[in-house]
Structure 1
Amino acid sequence: MCTLTLAWQVFEDAPVAVAANRDEALERESRPPSVYREEPLIVAPQDAEAGGTWIGYNEHGVFAGITNRWLDAELAGERSRGLLVGDVLKAESAAEAATVVENATVENEYDGFNLVIADAADAYCFQWDGSLERTVFEPGVHVVVNAAVDDDVSIPDSRAEAAHAQAANARAVRRDLAAERDESVSDWLERAGTVLGDHDYGVCIHGDGFGTRSSSLLALGSDRRQYLFAPGPPCRTSYEDVRLECDFGDH
């Protein structure tokens, strides 16, 4: 996934709201959102190659989503980043999940990543480039891409032009997805889905063998679990409500 927008503690009934596009090689297979793990119950799509996931939530209301992090020097990532997301979603809180990330990056090697973790009480972004940094989010709308976490922009020399463009796109998304007065989370998600599929924002991409493969809209609250999933680029793929035979929320 290459664009992740988090509205944290913005909506009273859904303190965690997310709009995210996943960019990936077109031939890489994945499975749509389903029960990823039963104990604890986790809802997430799954990468068919490595078995991990890039986005999901659990029965405790913990959300996790990951993007690649662009670096000049490739890391010797021996373990899939998607498996780390699955580990994080075993946690009962975002604070507990933070400890999972800290321990995992001591014990294993990963390629560069930006990992967003949030629940009703806390929200973080962990940035890994061989060392681990943690950004603590304040209430509001945040955008994470390969080259930036909000206004914290990292421009690798090897991708300078693309990184500058991506950071500018992310700023535009963050600006235009600021919550409007009296806007509901449902209205925000609908607007976010439109933004994610609008090519003027540059976050729905189509390349040679690579592009936006899917898009996710989520809203999590004490009495709400909503997941809308587009199994293709949102510019031409409708979002569908993910309905599962689960034991929590609206599912």
Structure 2
Amino acid sequence: MCTIVLAWQVFPDTPVAFGANRDERLDRPSEPPRERQWGARVIAPADEEAEGTWVGYNEHGVLAAITNRWVDADLAAERSRGLLVRDAFGHQNAESAAQAVEQAVREAEYDGFNLLLVDEDAAVLLEWDGQLAVRTLEPGVHVVVNVGADGDYRIPGHRPEVGERQAANADRLRDHLQVEPGEDAETWLDRAADAIGDHDFGVCVHGDGFGTRSSSLVTLGADRTYRFADGPPCETPYRPVESHI
């Protein structure tokens, strides 16, 4: 499981307010966020096993984030999904990055994924289950989980109960994170951070050898900020990531 929350074009000076939990094997090695050269200057963590990443943004203000997608199809996984995120940072806008993903899935097969690409002008969600669906998101609050986004879910036949439960949790989380009157981006993101660390919403995961490994909070706009919790957000403080881009 992984979870993304996004408030896009909601706050005047902060068109992108974003939070995400990364759920992964506890023994999979990774590096915390820092500046990298991946087709452009980038702030992102790194997966040491496959050399990709799951979240970050580049000097052009393009944010990319990916979750696994639960599917019934037996996909070849010829290339790591995290490399799609890394590739996206070589583009100057979200729409160009989305077009590159459309080409990439013609050239290689990937495990199922939901890939969010967003900048101040566009927000695109690409959903891959062996076929690619491309959604252009409207301004507002969005929640992406392994079975889909924003009430549009596809529950896999091999795990129906956990899929239905995840969809219900995502709906409750999205309702909870609707912007309140007079709320600013910082207040909303703090509230989002509390929610994705709250076990009542079911998106901070603790399991046997698997669970929520880290959490990210990002704002893009007049100011760019990245806060990172190097562990489950229910028990790990967010700390600022140094950035000069």
What is the TM-score normalised by the length of structure 1?
0.95
What residue identity is the alignment partner of 2:94?
A: A
The equivalent residue for 2:99 is 99
**Residue deviations 1:171-209 (CA, integer Å, cap 9, x gap):** 111011111111111111111110011100000010011
Instruction: Give the aligned partner of residue 72 of structure 1.
Output: 72
Q: Is the 8 A contact 2:54 2:85 kept in 1?
A: yes
Q: Separation in 2 of the partners of 1:80 and 1:38?
A: 16
- Is 2:39 aligned against 1:19? no
Do the aligned residues in 2 keep the contact of 1:36 with 1:45 (CA within 8 Å)?
no
For residue 179 of structure 1, what is the aligned residue in structure 2? 179
Give 5+ residue unaligned stretches, structure 1: none
Matches within 5 A, 1:53-202: 53-202=53-202
Partner of 1:47: 47
**SS across alignment from 1:52:** coil
Q: How high is the sequence identity, in percent, across the aligned residues?
A: 56
- CA offsets, 1:192-235, max 9 Å, x none? 110011100000010011000000010001x2110010000000
Number of residue pairs the alignment of both structures matches: 245
Normalised by the length of structure 2, the TM-score is 0.98
Q: What is the RMSD of the two structures over their aligned residues, measured on CA atoms?
A: 1.0
Q: Provide the rounded CA distance (Å) in 2 between the counterparts of 1:103 and 1:175.
A: 35
What's 2:228 paired with?
229
1:36–1:46 Cα contact (<8 Å) kept? no
1:151 Cα offset (Å)? 1.0
Tell me how far apart the structure 2 counterparts of residues 42 and 18 of structure 1 sit (CA, whole Å): 16
Provide the rounded CA distance (Å) in 2 between the counterparts of 1:210 and 1:74: 22
Deviations 1:28-57 (A, max 9, x none): 011000113264111100001000000010
The one-letter amino acid of 1:168's match is: A
> Match of 2:240?
241
Q: Which amino acid aligns with 1:211?
A: G
User: Structure 2 CA distance, aligned partners of 1:179 and 1:42?
Assistant: 29
- Give the Cα–Cα distance (whole angstroms) in 2 for the partners of residues 38 and 67 of structure 1: 20
> How far apart are residue 72 of structure 1 and its match?
1.3
The CA distance in 1 between the partners of 2:183 and 2:4, in whole Å, is 20
Q: What is the CA deviation profile of residues 78-136 of structure 1, one whole-angstrom value per residue up to 9, with x for unaligned ones? A: 10000110001111001111111111111111100000111011101000011111011
Q: Distance in 2 between matches of 1:79 and 1:70?
A: 17
**Counterpart residue identity of residue 190, structure 1:** D
**Runs of 4+ in structure 1 over 4 Å off:** none
Q: Distance in 2 between the 1:38 and 1:70 partners? A: 28
- Aligned partners of 2:128 and 2:114: how far apart in 1? 6
SS state at 2:109 partner: coil
